[in-house]
Structure 1
């Protein structure tokens, strides 16, 4: 049912890492050798010859820890504690006393090997070595600088929450917990990347998410064997279905409310440390046209806006290709008056419609990329002024026709209407291919290509869910939230597109007419 995913891990067995030595100095020498004398790693040793306390060593990374927290919760409690006196020759008792009674830090973990010790060290923990004991302690003292919670830049809404994920994994899970205050919310953490050791959180609702989908997501995450994960797209490309396809099969979102909404529908979320973009799986084609704002305003307005998005999708995909095909091969389809006007505009243009459209599309994409890469203060001004000046100058110079400028401009604007940047970028790529086909074969080529594209989309799956579901296969009962959005009181059941286990999400409300009648009777009684 599921497509094969990334290559399996190498089958060669790796020897287990050797355990720590009982001698503290030997462990410190091995750690210094492994980190190569990096200047940001601090080594502090403590030994009091006048007392019978065990010798201790503290190791932490400057910049990853809160220095004040290290001093107050780790170093001072251990160096000033009188209960450790007399424990120099009893390292096991000293270890138990430090771990269970002295350390007030929130989280304390055992480290039995150098590899596990280094992993905890670079996560912002303070390592405590006890002379004579072959197990180290890692006290949680994380304190690196993080970006504050701000409004999402890629998914803005007029009405709705104004906060987005940050690059901190724990901040992301806490923002999700604030919205889903349920004991059924499960968070499973992974460390992926041999060198980056990037934290990954798999989040879902127990009893709602499909067990089959969960098992497949876990399998694909476990199969990842790479040096590093720096952004969510690394995970997306390594676990997604489809292979060579321009269409995204996983959603990415910067909004905690969008992630919470998907999880309530039965999807599985993946939060990645180091990026504000989380992933949602499985995903269908129609889910990329849904915005969180659809559920924050009236259903009639939301339905109208959703229809506008689908219209903009077809305009962005087909308008330049249709213009090229009609003006090149099918002039008889254009009204005579319009045809005369178009012919008059193109009289001095030296290029065919295909070359003209490609020039304008490439120019617009260059301007858009320039606006993104340039400094924020001048980027928007340069892109807008550049588009106006170049477009007007190109028409006056006779390089392009005015109608082509209108077609390309409206196509670009329609592309921005689509709420998902991933699907919008896919349309940009397909549009160029459609333009080439329209310029060589005409409408017949466009229709043939659209049929092939539709067959390709119908063959795609996202973690076992058909990509065009609920249209292919057709499920009429699930169309309440696809092209339009029906009122919330009419969506009492959860659509099982994603294999959700629980199908009911709210109790059915009483009949509206009966409710109004009861209210009228009550008001009449009050007046009397």
Structure 2
């Protein structure tokens, strides 16, 4: 597996250097001038026609000019007034000789950074940190006074549950990193920051646990992130599409989540997490196909219950993919497989239907998908009502009008309910999309067509990789020791090893022999 990633790194080195973005080339890289007026003129020309760019000028000692530049709505106005303007304007003339010392050591601002390049000043201002300029100074000072409105920490909407944490990521990158730090307090948790997007300048953080995550994996992820050259990153989906192994596959090779506990459990397994400013959805890689079927609640309840629910999930995963196709194939080619009494009942229900089974199935499936999408896009107050009432009214009206049969409505309803059992929304979309070509194969070749479709999907899954990790791992290639968290859920005290994703730098996650019970407590007589 490490060999696969090394091959990817070698291919990346052999590629020609990409053409630089024009916006990136046009970024001002000049150093600040000695002339105060010239520096101010540069910034005024850069922020021309920007009504939210504030230029606050004042006098130091009543004679030395100074200016603070910030963006309204991104910086802490009260902090600027109380911790910058007030103490600086109150400096006496005797203290003028130690101005730099005051700015770097005595200013009541937690973060003060000296900047020399105009580009660094612009990036600081865009991040909400005001820039302080003085007459006669070759350097500016970036002040850590960023403050903007953000959504409070709320329960994740798309990944709810009965048991577990109620906290979810929000759009603030600082809140996201702090939530990870609250759970994993070890300094081995590393946060590697970078900026992507020539216009958006989006802050991105790559989080991993040093000594647990394989170094080759981190190098590959860093390389893929740094080679992204795009105007802007508006959501983590942009990054997901730019760094995945096979962008033409319907199956995701990177998992998204808005739950800090899922992100931290992935970090402890040796995976890496990508946090993006402006979105509550973080990215987790590498993953396997079975990661998309697992739910966080599988590990928060008794392992026997979790195993039962997981097998139920596997069962209905197959139902959501194949049930309409099996119905179409049996009605079209294999009527002998149906018991006589059931076949007579189905034939009676289809007596007035003028369409073949495949047309019925396509009509109902497309209508159901349209209703589901409408329920998602409509306002929350009426979305659920439209979905439920629409399904009932359309289904009943279609049966009474003789357009579809009652068994087909039942098949489509069971298929739709089954698709809701897949924990990951993106995996559910992939199954919904693959359902249609398999239905067409069933209508043309019967069960043989369904078999061909299943074989094609299995072959495709076997060729997929997620950052060098086989997509069907640990089932293909087979690793019996790791099946304890795939086909069944072992007790927590038996999960003493981590999944072998890209290396074996830190295999054991807990001490062996922790089975609970009185005999383990050291009985005394």
TM class by shorter-chain length?
A: over 0.9
Question: What stretches of structure 1 of length at least 5 have no aligned partner?
Answer: 88-92
| Residues 120 and 520 (structure 1), Cα distance of their counterparts in 2 relative to 1, 3 Å cut | closer
1:420-459 mapped onto 2 (5 Å cutoff): 420-459=424-463
1:516 alignment partner in structure 2: 518
For 1:33, the equivalent position in structure 2 comes to 45
In structure 1, how many angstroms separate the alpha carbons of the residues matched to 2:284 and 2:177?
A: 14
Alignment of 1:394-413 (within 5 A): 394-413=398-417
**How far apart, CA to CA, are the structure 1 residues paired with 2:115 and 2:94?**
21
Q: CA RMSD in A?
A: 1.9
1:489 aligns with 2:493: yes
Aligned residue among 143, 149, 156 for 2:153: 149
Confirm or deny that 1:45 pairs with 2:47: no
Q: Pick the aligned partner of 1:21 from 27, 33, 58.
A: 33
Partner residue of 1:9 out of 14, 18, 21: 18
Report the alpha carbon displacement of residue 145 of structure 1 after superposing the two structures with TM: 0.4
- In the alignment, which residue of structure 1 is the partner of 2:64? 54
Note the C-alpha offset of 1:517: 4.1
Question: Among 249, 255, 258, which residue is 1:254 paired with?
Answer: 258
Partner-residue secondary structure (3-state), 1:137: strand
Contact 1:53 1:85 in 2 (8 A): no
CA distance in 2, matches of 1:202, 1:493: 24
The match for 2:300 is: 296
Distance 1:508 1:153 in 2: 37
Match of 1:330 in 2: 334
Q: Aligned equivalents of 2:165 and 2:62: distance in 1?
A: 58
Residue range with higher mean Cα deviation, 332-341 or 188-197: 332-341
Shift of 1:358: 0.8
Residue 127 of structure 1 is aligned with which of 131, 139, 143? 131
Q: Does the CA-based 8 Å contact 2:493-2:514 persist in structure 1? A: no
User: How far did residue 132 of structure 1 move?
Assistant: 1.3
Which residue matches 2:84?
A: 74
> Are the equivalent residues in 2 in contact too, given 1:205–1:263 (CA < 8 A)?
yes
Q: 1:292 to 1:84 in 2, by over 3 A?
A: farther
- Counterpart residue number, 1:63: 73
Q: Cα deviations across residues 434-469 of structure 1 (Å, max 9, x unaligned)?
A: 111111121111111211111111011011101110
Within 5 A, what are the aligned runs for 1:92-491? Answer: 94=99, 96-491=100-495
CA contact (8 A) 2:494 2:515 kept: no
**SS, match of residue 512 in structure 2:** coil
- What is aligned with 1:90? none
Cα deviation code 1:257-305 (max 9, x no counterpart): 0000000000000011100000101011011111111111000000011
Q: Helix, strand or coil for the counterpart of 1:162?
A: coil
Distance 2:233 2:515 in 1: 52
SS of the equivalent of 2:273 reads: strand
Native 8 Å contact 1:52 1:85 kept in 2: no
SS in 2 for 1:182: coil
Q: Distance in 1 between matches of 2:25 and 2:53?
A: 28
1:337-359 per-position Cα deviation (integer Å, ceiling 9, x unaligned): 11111111111111111111111
- Which residues of structure 2 form unaligned runs of 5+? none
SS in 2 for 1:56: strand
- How many residues are aligned here? 513
Q: 1:86 to 1:264 in 2, by over 3 A?
A: closer
1:370-423 CA-partner distances (Å, limit 9, x unpaired):
111111111111111111111111111111111111111111111010101111
Deviation at 1:489, TM superposition (A): 0.8
| d(CA) in 2 for partners of 1:11, 1:448 | 45
Compared with structure 1, are the counterparts of its residues 521 and 243 closer, same or farther at alpha carbon in structure 2 (3 Å cutoff)? closer
Tell me how far 1:491 sits from its aligned partner: 1.0
**TM-score relative to the length of structure 2:** 0.94
CA deviation map 1:278-334 (0-9, x unaligned):
010101101111111111100000001111111111000111111111111111111
Alpha-carbon deviation of 1:495?
A: 2.2
- What is the distance in 2 between the residues matched to 1:177 and 1:153? 22
> In the aligned structure 1, how far is the partner of 2:169 from the partner of 2:520?
45
Deviation at 1:110, TM superposition (A): 2.2
TM-aligned CA deviation for residue 11 of structure 1 = 6.3
- State the SS of the aligned residue for 2:131: strand
Q: Secondary structure at the match of 1:261?
A: helix
Could you say which residue in structure 2 is the equivalent of 1:502?
A: 506
Return 456-465 or 8-17, whichever deviates more.
8-17
**TM-score for both structures, normalised by structure 1:** 0.93
Aligned-partner Cα distance in 2 for 1:417–1:293: 13
